């Protein structure tokens, strides 16, 4: 006995097409055996901000170590969180990436800023007589407090070492509103938050006497 062929009514077929289109926006939808996909977008921090007229100067040379981070933040994945749903669950954009892992972006920005406001050395230069600044990146994500509203959030822990001696340690947090609820807006917000947190670190560094 042959089974009857089920046919979709026009309204049901239209609904199926709309569902497929919605899925295409977030993960791609297979049409005719081929998956639709958006081009991959890559972001960095953009041009560094101009130095403020009242920017502090660092009189003592310092070695700046590469920024460290947990493995989850050490890839080029672009993370976001939905704090209104489950703040403990990280998500990643399917078609957006960083040009390099966030710790590397932050290292380049930090060394550039300190070089413009003082004398920066690599960890292999200067010897043990020159103090070392180490940063640990603990949070780096676009955080949505409600649908359509988000901010870039950056949290680092800064440590100054002189040889094996701990001179000072402090945690810094910065947030910046995203101009749009997408990866492009998140990238702008995270760049602004990163520049702000670097500014906090440099001002703190200027008050130390390593």
Over residues 107-154, the pLDDT tens digits come to 999 999 988 877 776 666 666 778 999 999 999 999 999 999 999 999
Tokens at residue 160, please?
């100054």
For the ranges 8-17, 66-75, 141-150, which has the lowest average pLDDT?
Answer: 8-17
Higher pLDDT, 21 or 147: 147
According to the model, what pLDDT value does residue 119 have?
A: 73
Say how many C-beta atoms besides its own lie within 10 A of residue 170's C-beta.
14
pLDDT greater than 60 at residue 31: no
Per-residue model confidence (pLDDT) at position 123: 65
First to last CA, the chain: 88
pLDDT of residue 121: 66
pLDDT at 142: 98
Share of the chain above pLDDT 90, in %: 60
Q: Was domain 41-207 assigned CATH 3.40.50.10610?
A: yes
Q: Given the structure tokens 């704090």, which residue do they identify?
A: 83
DSSP 8-state symbol, 131: -
Residues of the chain with CATH 3.40.50.10610: 41-207
pLDDT over threshold 90, residue 169: yes
Residue, of 74 and 14, whose pLDDT is higher: 74
114 Cβ contact partners less than 8 Å away, ≥ 6 residues apart: 58, 62, 64, 120, 133, 202, 205
Could you give the CA distance from residue 201 to residue 189 in angstroms, rounded to a whole number? 18
Does residue 33 register a pLDDT over 50? no
* Closest among 123, 113, 130 to 45, alpha carbons compared: 113
What's the mean pLDDT in 65-69? 97
C-beta neighbour count of 154 within 10 angstroms: 26
Mean pLDDT of 166-181: 98
pLDDT score at 14: 42
Place 97 in a pLDDT band, splitting at 50, 70 and 90: very high
């Amino acid at each position: 006995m042959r089974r009857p062929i089920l046919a979709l009514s026009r309204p049901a077929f239209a609904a199926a097409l709309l569902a497929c289109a919605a899925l295409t926006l977030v993960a791609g939808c297979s049409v005719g055996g081929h998956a639709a996909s958006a081009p991959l977008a890559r972001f960095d921090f953009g041009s560094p901000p101009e130095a403020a007229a009242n920017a502090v100067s660092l009189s003592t040379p310092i070695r700046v170590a590469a920024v460290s981070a947990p493995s989850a933040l050490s890839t080029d994945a672009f993370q976001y969180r939905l704090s209104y749903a489950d703040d403990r669950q990280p998500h990643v954009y399917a078609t957006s990436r960083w040009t390099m892992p966030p710790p590397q972006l932050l290292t380049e920005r930090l060394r550039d800023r300190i070089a413009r406001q003082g004398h920066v050395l690599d960890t292999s230069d200067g010897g043990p007589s020159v103090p070392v600044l180490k940063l640990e990146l603990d949070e780096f994500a676009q955080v949505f407090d409600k649908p359509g509203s988000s901010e870039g959030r950056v949290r680092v822990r800064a440590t100054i070492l002189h040889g094996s001696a701990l001179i000072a340690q402090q945690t810094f947090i910065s947030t910046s509103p995203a101009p749009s609820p997408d990866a492009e807006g998140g990238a702008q917000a995270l760049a602004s938050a990163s520049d702000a947190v670097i500014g906090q670190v440099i001002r703190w560094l200027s008050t130390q006497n390593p």
